[in-house]
Amino acid sequence: MSGPWVVYNRGIGWEVHRADMPDVPVNNGFRDTFTEADARLIAAAPDLLAACEAIIEEQSIGMYGAISNEGIAQLRAAVAKATDSEAAQ
């Protein structure tokens, strides 16, 4: 099952769901829950992977060791999603 994913607080723990399937948790329908930090990291995983791949691509096409502002912004947004912060610093 692939993202985008969202997290829900069930009161006894957190679940991760596909954004387009809010009634189906990613853990195959079992009612297990995650800690908030784990759920947020799972939900942010596709964004974190995309940001890392973008940075790797920039480096491989000869950006001379500099990471673009766009790459940094993408990483900050993914980290903010994973940590539920307004903006990762």
Reported confidence tier of residue 86, pLDDT bands at 50, 70, 90 = low
Average pLDDT, stretch 62-67? 61
**pLDDT attached to residue 59:** 65
17 belongs to a structural domain:
yes
**pLDDT attached to residue 66:** 67
Reported confidence tier of residue 12, pLDDT bands at 50, 70, 90 = confident
Number of domains in the chain: 1
9 belongs to a structural domain:
yes
> pLDDT (tens digit, 9 = 90+) per residue, 27-55?
665 567 888 999 998 888 888 888 887 77
36 belongs to a structural domain:
yes
Q: Structural domain of residue 12, as residue ranges?
A: 5-83
pTM metric for this prediction: 0.67
88 belongs to a structural domain:
no
48 belongs to a structural domain:
yes
Distance CA 15, CA 58 (A): 34
Distance CA 51, CA 58 (A): 11
Distance CA 45, CA 51 (A): 10
Reported confidence tier of residue 89, pLDDT bands at 50, 70, 90 = very low
